Chain A
């Protein structure tokens, strides 16, 4: 190195004295740190070599810069401020560091070839000596020793080089022992850290950017690593865990910075799910690579506990909601009840009231002022007093239930309200009274109801009495009517019986008259003269007339008493006509009339009372014969299919009947009828009346068409079928 040498200022100033050099060595050995060693070296140089000012700068551990350590005769701040970038290879100080020999920089003057580096010593002539670990050390300088003598002098470089050599060796030794100590400490720290890592039960691991595991504690190894002895099942679980973990890790890496998330892994031993909270923190691995520290906290149990807590909380909320709903419901019920309800605590204070109770025991809002308001307040206080007295009775009493009549006052109207108070003590536990529930029943309505009820009852009783009376009267009248009916019935029966008896009693002698007349006419007692015969025929005729009268009376009686029996049978009309013709034979022969019976084809058989039909037709025929002097009598049947009826018409060419007579001819004992028949010297006047009634009994009727001097037609109309009664 082409470095110019300055002249030595003090020649051979006693610096080669071994004792003094030994003193520096002793001082250096007695000091334990770099700064103290450097300072005592600088002080020794000041004392022995005239270095008035000096400082020591050392290469930093990282080897990137040279930094001022300690100075002598120099401002400390300037020493600390000195920093030289070792990357600046052209810096004379950096060059000096690499050299083996001291270099002197002259104070800057005109014509100086080399620039002076910036130091706390400049601008002045100063010498720089490199500090090395020893002659064989090739690692380069540990630092620099910079010293300057009095203005204008050069220091002895040999002495400086010797001192710098001593300091360098000493610093190297110190650095070595420090490094060793640091290494021991580091190893111990690593052991401790590993201990800590193992002591933490949570899996912890460090991964590189590719997710490869760099460091893992046993918890993490258990989950994420395998060895040769691992079974297949566990191997698969671990593989699965790695996959899950990597996926989670890379998702986290994207987000950057520390993160926290849940991760579900599998316990490789038993296959149970394990829930972890994964906390990751980016970790610089050096050379720009960023790894990731992951801590997994097993929250499986925590999660279960949390879920349980949540469930409990939910139940609690639900129960609370139920209680609230229950209370709301109770409130609604309480409000809906029209009877006042009060709940009092054991001290007698009202703790709950429904609106009707409120009305009685709370002064109406806004009514404070004025006479009315004061009055209302007074009434409320009165009510309170009454109720308090009642409540104290309840607490004094032993029974759980209590009932009493109270009279309260309506605060608004001032009207007295009769109340029935019913109270019940509620107990939390036996003997521990918690509250008293009181319901007040407004009795005024009940009182009014009772009054009304009494009234109604009185009216009702009155009414009942009248009804009873009326019923009694009715019953009496009924009884009377019943007796009368019985009497009537009895009288009617008596009449029927009487007539039946009369009939019987009349017939017996009539039998003898008819019989003897008959046998005489028949000649049983010898031949009769014409005169005798004629007279006997008069007897016979009148006997028969009498018989007719008797029979008619009997029929009429039976019809009127409703005792006429009806026998329904089916028979052809023709058969009835033949019977009639037979019975009327003598009458027909006695008349000189042409009598014709005719039943056209298609007239159906009758279902009726044959005997009565015959009786009617016979009667009509005998009438026709009696009142027809000449001409003919036609008896004709015809069918009326629409009405399902059969009509039997008896037509004569007789004297006819006047319209007046037509009106009354069917009446029993009708005056005109009666006289009419009377004039004809035959019949009872009952015949047509009986015929029409019999026709009615058979469900039919008899009609009459007649013209005086021309003739009459009596028509019997009958239903083809008589429904048996």
Chain B
């Protein structure tokens, strides 16, 4: 399946954060989908097969760590780049995220442009949209 633009799934139960991120990523030329919790994130990941997921970790029901583990456990989704986004500043949280299978961990608050740079780094020069 080929796409013109890389698809990013933004997962955050905090609406302001989710909409800011989604809007900015679209602004930067990414295809964007959103999810409000872990279960939705997993559902959409299987449905849409995004190139990257910006995953907030503190989610209701199925949290970000669990969702990441499930996606990593399935062959169809294990190739997706998952960038964890957390308001927890402690190293232990970062370690848990990497253990669960995240490719990168970014601590909130973070300006959207820095977040986009991390996504770009993860996707690589070929997949990322052309820089303006």
Contacts and interface: CB of A to CB of B under 8 A. Distances in A.
Interface of A: 500, 503-505, 507-519, 522, 524, 543, 547, 550-551, 554, 558, 565
Contact of A510 (B91, B108, B112): B108
Contact of B111 (A507, A514, A565): A514
Contacts of A509: 16
Nearest to A496: B90
Contact of B24 (A508, A511, A524): A524
Contacts of A554: 89-90
A522 B21 CA distance: 14
Contact of A508 (B14, B91, B111): B14
B118 to A, nearest CB: 14
A616 to B, nearest CB: 17
Nearest to B111: A518
The listed residue with most A CB atoms (<10 A of its CB), out of B17, B20, B23, B27, is B20
A518 B27 CA distance: 13
Interface in B1-54: 14, 16-17, 20-21, 23-24, 27
Contacts of A524: 23-24, 27
26 contacts: A504-B87, A505-B87, A507-B107, A507-B108, A508-B17, A508-B87, A508-B108, A509-B16, A510-B109, A512-B20, A513-B109, A514-B110, A515-B20, A515-B21, A516-B16, A517-B111, A518-B111, A518-B113, A519-B20, A519-B23, A519-B24, A519-B112, A522-B113, A543-B109, A547-B109, A565-B92
A568 to B, nearest CB: 14
B58 interface: yes
B58 A515 contact: no
B70 interface: no
Contacts of B23: 519, 524
B22 to A, nearest CB: 11
9 nearest A-B residue pairs (beta carbon): A518-B111, A511-B109, A507-B87, A511-B108, A514-B109, A512-B16, A510-B109, A504-B87, A515-B20
Contacts of B92: 565
Contacts of A551: 89
Interface size class of B (residues with CB under 8 A): 20 to 34
Interface of B: 14, 16-17, 20-21, 23-24, 27, 58, 87-92, 107-113
Nearest to B108: A511
Contacts of B87: 503-505, 507-508, 511
A53 B108 CA distance: 199
Contacts of A543: 109
A565 B89 CA distance: 13
B61 to A, nearest CB: 18
A548 to B, nearest CB: 11
Given A504-B87, A507-B87, A565-B91, A512 B17 contact: yes
Nearest to A515: B20
A312 to B, nearest CB: 105
A504 B58 contact: yes
B110 to A, nearest CB: 7
A315 to B, nearest CB: 100
B96 to A, nearest CB: 13
A587 B92 CA distance: 30
The listed residue with most A CB atoms (<10 A of its CB), out of B24, B108, B109, is B109
A518 B112 contact: yes
The listed residue with most B CB atoms (<10 A of its CB), out of A511, A514, A554, is A511
A515 B17 contact: yes
Given A512-B20, A517-B111, 10 more contacts: A503-B89, A512-B16, A514-B111, A515-B17, A515-B109, A515-B112, A519-B23, A519-B27, A524-B27, A554-B89
Nearest to A524: B27
The listed residue with most A CB atoms (<10 A of its CB), out of B23, B92, B111, is B111
A296 B112 CA distance: 150
Contacts of B16: 509, 512, 516
A664 to B, nearest CB: 28
A510 B87 CA distance: 10
Nearest to A504: B87
A511 B110 contact: yes
A355 B109 CA distance: 107
Contacts of B27: 519, 524
A188 B88 CA distance: 160
B64 to A, nearest CB: 14
A519 B16 CA distance: 13
Contacts of B109: 507, 510-515, 543, 547
Contacts of A500: 88, 90
A543 B92 CA distance: 25
B44 to A, nearest CB: 22
Contacts of A565: 91-92
Contacts of A503: 87-89
A676 to B, nearest CB: 26
Contacts of B107: 507
B43 to A, nearest CB: 24
A517 B21 CA distance: 13
A19 B107 CA distance: 205
A581 B21 CA distance: 28
Contacts of B88: 500, 503-504
A54 to B, nearest CB: 182
The listed residue with most A CB atoms (<10 A of its CB), out of B23, B89, B107, is B89
A500 B23 CA distance: 30
Nearest to A544: B109
Contacts of A505: 87
Nearest to A523: B27
A505 to B, nearest CB: 8
